[in-house]
Structures are given as structure tokens and as C-alpha cells.
Amino acid sequence: MLLTVALLFTVFSLICERSLGQVSLRNGTALNTRAFVKQDCDGVKTYICDSCVSRRPCVGVQEINVSIPCATGSYCTTLTAGDRCGPIPSDECISSTASKPFTCTSLGVFPDPNNCNVYHVCLAAKDNSNVYKCAPGYVFDIASVGCIRQVLPTTCVTVRCAVGSPAYVLYGNSRQYYVICDGQNLPTQVMRCPNGSFFTFFSTTLPYGECVYSCTGQGNYPNSNNPISYFQCYISNGRLVYTEVDCPKNTVFNSTLRYCVLST
């Protein structure tokens, strides 16, 4: 339904012009950031959370310098008698990842891996993302690049990382968006494969993979994540294959001319 979406290279016009229902991207609310703060052993607690997914033993007020990870998929929860591992991350952990800007890897609009009510806008690679919040009852949707009304619980897409198992995990049923799970913390950032490429696991048993460009013909094609490189597609042994090429210094790829030109 609704609007035509002009996705890439339109971040600015997207922010300035587009609105979806009652929710305009311009009207997002920037969130405050909070980080996990480890507390001290208080003489009562037997364990103290030292991260969102691990804890340390307390002997009186003395903290033992051993970090014990919670079981796979569980989080350390702060309680008065002693911090325990359980299925629900503490508020502190949710807000520290949900609202925290990440370092942009490319331009564009990104979902948040932990909180479907917020999204990130990246205006330049290596800058911090700007965090925006959808209106109550709305969740961010990558297909329409905007906030849509949450009809079903499944409209909310987030990513769960298994504790103790570092892995690359696809964001929902997307093959363009994925997260990197470090095996310790909640995922901090969603990554996007360049236009025309798809995330592909190296094998069915290895939880690692990379974006693989899908050549539509021979020639040079832009890398939408990186303007100073391009994909060179050619035929080798009867198959269409590609290599990623960096432009020479001080040049950028021009997708009309299909070669690198001096950057202005």
C-alpha cells in the first residue's frame, strides 16, 4: 500500500519530505544514551552483574575478579539479594543498546537490532548514527523505510544473539540486513549489504558469511556502501564473477561513466 519508496541516495529528501501515515521521519525524537554501570558488592549480594550477560562472585564487599557468563540466551538481572541470570535483560541493558548511536558503516536508514520502536539515520560513513523514535504503536519497517502501525507482534523485528556463540545473524527474513553478535552482549548495530548484494553464509554449519554481489552483466557497477570502490563483473570459465576494486586515490566511481573520476 501507500507510497513509492525511492530508497538509496535519498536520505536527505527522505528526512525532509517523506511521511508515512502520521509519522514523519523528521519528527523522530532523539533519545538519551545510558550505558551499563557495574555496581559494587554490597556485603549482602553473592553475585554482582558485571555486564549485561555475566556476573562476578562477591565475598562480603570483596569482588572476585572472575567473570562468569550467563547461560546461552540469558541475561544478568540486578536483584536486591544477588544478581541472577534470567531470560529478561535489565532495563539498563535494553536502553543502553536500544538508544545508543552506532558508528555508521554506510549511508542510509537502519533498524535497531534490539528495539523496533527506534531506527538510525546515517548521513556519513564513520559518523555516529542519529537515533529516532517511532510514534507509540508504530514500529520501524525496512521494506518501507519508515514507521508502520504495529498490527501483529511479529511486525516488530529484533535480533537475538546467543550468549557464548559469536555469529553473524540475519535481521528478520532479510538477506540485506544483518548483525554481528560478539557472543557476550546484545547486538549493537545492524549492517547493510550494498545494493545488489546479498548476505551469504560461507557454509550451512559456519555462522559467518559476507555480502556477495550479484552481477547482472559484465562491466563496472557502483558499490552503494562505498562510493570510492566498485564491483567489476566479468566472465571467467563461463561464469559471471566479480571482484571489488578500489578507485585510485582522490577519485570516486561515477555510475554513469562507469569508471572512477576525480572527486570534486
Ligand X SMILES: *[C@@H]1O[C@H](CO)[C@@H](O)[C@H](O)[C@H]1NC(C)=O
Contacts with ligand X by CB under 6 A lie at: 8-9, 24, 26-27, 65, 195-196, 216, 222, 224, 254, 256-257
- CA 8, distance to chain mean position in Å, is 17
- The smaller minimum CB distance to ligand X, of residues 103 and 216, is found at 216
User: Could you give the CA distance from residue 180 to residue 197 in angstroms, rounded to a whole number?
Assistant: 18
**Residue of minimal CB distance from ligand X?**
196
Smallest gap, in angstroms, from Cβ of residue 86 to ligand X? 25
In terms of CB distance, is 160 or 258 closer to ligand X?
258
Q: Please report how many Cα atoms fall inside a 13 Å half-sphere around the Cα of residue 179, on the Cβ side.
A: 26
Q: How far is the CB of 224 from ligand X (least distance, A)?
A: 5
Distance of alpha carbon 90 from alpha carbon 70, whole angstroms? 13
The CB-of-168 to ligand X minimum distance in angstroms stands at 22
Q: Are 48 and 38 in contact (CB under 8 A)?
A: yes
CA distances from 197 to 7, 18, 223 (A): 15, 26, 9
**Nearest distance, CB of residue 205 and ligand X, angstroms:** 30
Query: What is the gyration radius of the CA atoms in the chain, in angstroms?
Result: 22
Q: Which is nearer to ligand X, 91 or 210 (CB)?
A: 210
The nearer residue to ligand X, 152 or 257, going by C-beta atoms, is 257
